[in-house]
Amino acid sequence: MKKLRWGAVLAVALAAPLAFVPSAQAAKGRLVVVVGTATCQYTASVAGGARADNHSCARVGAQTQYISAAGGTGWTAEVKHPTTAIAPVPSGVTYFSGRTAGAINVAGMMTYVWQTL
């Protein structure tokens, strides 16, 4: 099976710079994923969890990472979907951020590029 190296993948964020944000705030922006000569775009947001809305990627992904009220860190499963992927924040969380991904289908291989919001 062909396998692309993650190191060969470049992802850049356009629009507003995204940062690790507290739950009281939201960050969003249109992200551009580049794999080789292929590009795609999706919109990422953090509001109640990580969310990726597809514009032109083969698929999108979302994952939420958090700090619980007890102080422990954690994260949700990865969600992958053709159009809209959402990973909501579990209950009892005091702080969270999101990771989203856009996937490009290169030579039959779905390559996800994950980015922390």
Partner 1 sequence: MKRSRSVVGAAAAVIALAVGGCSPDEESEASTTGTAPVLSAHSQMLIEDLLTWGGSDLERAVLADRMVTDAEMQQAEDAFRACVAKAGYTAYFELMGEGYATGVSQEERDQIAARYQHDIDAGIAFEASIIHPCEAGTIETIAFIYGQLTSNPRGLTYPELLRECLGLLGLEAEAASVADEQLGGAVSGGEFGKEAELRCMTGILQDLP
Please report, as ranges, the residues that interact with partner 1 according to CB under 8 A.
Answer: 1-3, 43, 51, 53-56, 58-59, 62-65, 72-90, 99, 105, 107-110, 116
* Least separation in angstroms between CB 24 and partner 1: 19
Which CB, 34 or 116, lies closer to partner 1?
116
* Least separation in angstroms between CB 45 and partner 1: 8
Output the CA torsion sign for 52, 53, 55, 56. Answer: positive
Which CB, 51 or 102, lies closer to partner 1?
51
Give the DSSP H or E segment for 83: none
* Least separation in angstroms between CB 51 and partner 1: 8
Q: What is the CA angle 47-52-55, rounded to 5?
A: 135
CA nearest neighbour of 18 among 10, 29, 8, 9: 29
* Least separation in angstroms between CB 34 and partner 1: 18
Neighbouring CB atoms inside 10 A of 12's CB total 11
Which CB, 17 or 92, lies closer to partner 1?
92
Q: Is 53 helix (H, G, I), strand (E, B) or coil?
A: strand
